[in-house]
Amino acid sequence: MQSRRRPGSIEDVRRSPESSAAAAASGTTATRYADFGVREARGVSGAYERLSLAVSRDPEVLALLDTLPAAKRQPNLLFGVVRLLGGPVGDPTEFRAYVTSTWPKIAAELRVRSTQTNEPGRCAALLPVLAELPQPLALIEVGASAGLCLYPDRYAYRYGAHVLGSGAPVLDCALTGRPPPTGLPRVVWRAGLDLNPLDVTDPADVAWLDALIWPEHRHRRTRLRDAAAVATAEPPLLVRGDLVDDLPDLADRTPAGATLVVLHTSVLYQVPAPRRRAFVDVARDLPGHWIANEDPDVLPHDELPEPPAALHNLLALDGRPLAWTRSHGQAMVWFG
């Protein structure tokens, strides 16, 4: 079902039943929480490290989580929902008491929500590629969430001492292996495709984006507000749809005279493997360019150099790997 076609709106196209928002997870729930605590939260969020390790050892909370589909048991999703509901995330004992006493309300939110963290900082990792493509650009972001990565031309950047652009947010990126970009791209059209687009002009959607930011990351909360102000001034065209089934139709709307760039960051881990492969086929067949910033476990490449510590994502242009990037765009090591 196709609906409104004005810029700045959220449009509906059909949902793909086989492309669920999250790929089925493997391992027990206890293992997932223990792994999350050690591999993802340690050194990044003391609060979430404590909570996830406590949950991994708590049979009662694990049993509650196991009443949900696997994709709805993720640590990030549970912690985000508790934050959204105003529950405590600083102390494992208080967290446990809140979860066990408020479970029906929490479970209802977990069932209808998914992790849709929208991190504009990732534009700093995309910029070196975007700035060097034939201008002007028409951007399509798949898995856009609220579309905050569709404004690489509107943000300011600091690559060490090298500053580009002005205003807020200012996106810091420690870049090594190549000189920083010398200019901003010229974007004449921007559109996002998402199974569940969020609306930056809706306070409830912004509250969910805020709840998904980890407790200690105050700078990211400020960045969210600054980027949301940029997007609110010129809301993106967001289409509700699937990145395989609905991308060709959206690409057909690219204005003449602009270079089409299909991009995605931290999306494919939510897409089942056969659908990822189908997406790659679709993206490769489109005219223009394709930029991926994804974990190589979900978008594999041959013969990659060793990733530097904490740089888990790989930036690739048209399937050619170029750089390791850190998850929020705060660092990149160029090798391409």
Binding site for ligand SAM (CB under 6 A): 19, 21, 114-119, 122, 142-145, 149, 193-196, 242-243, 265-267, 270-271
> Cβ of residue 294: shortest distance to ligand SAM, in angstroms?
10
**For ligand SAM, the closer CB: 20 or 102:** 20
CB 96 to ligand SAM: min, Å: 27
CB nearer ligand SAM, residue 289 or residue 328: 328
Instruction: Output the CA torsion sign for 91, 97, 102, 103.
Output: positive
Q: Which residue shows structure tokens 């990792």?
A: 125
Compute the distance between CA of residue 144 and CA of residue 192 in angstroms, rounded to an integer: 5
Residue nearer to ligand SAM on the CB measure, 64 or 213: 213
Closest CB to ligand SAM among residues 98, 208? 208
The distance of closest approach from Cβ of residue 327 to ligand SAM in the complex, given in angstroms and rounded to an integer, is 9
Residue 128 beta carbon to ligand SAM: minimum distance, rounded to whole angstroms: 17
Q: What strands, in cross-sheet order, belong to the sheet with 170-172?
A: 162-164, 156-159, 170-172
Buried b or exposed e, range 61-96, using 16+ CB within 10 angstroms: bbebbeebebbbbbbbbbbbbbbbeebbbeebeebb
CB of 278 to ligand SAM, least distance (A): 10
What does the alpha-carbon distance between residue 107 and residue 44 come to, in Å, rounded to a whole number? 26
Q: Toward ligand SAM, which CB reaches closer, 116 or 330?
A: 116
CA distance 154 to 269: 28
Dig out the tokens for 146 from the structure: 């609220």
Q: Which helix (H) or strand (E) holds 313?
A: strand 313-317
Q: Which residue lies nearer to ligand SAM by CB, 89 or 268?
A: 268
Question: What DSSP character marks residue 204?
Answer: H
Distance CA 74, CA 308 (A): 26
Question: Residues 163, 157: contact at Cβ < 8 Å?
Answer: yes
Q: How far is the CB of 10 from ligand SAM (least distance, A)?
A: 12
Read off the DSSP letter of residue 295.
-
121 versus 288: smaller Cβ distance to ligand SAM: 121
Minimum Å gap between C-beta 228 and ligand SAM is: 12
Q: Which residue is nearest to ligand SAM (CB)?
A: 143
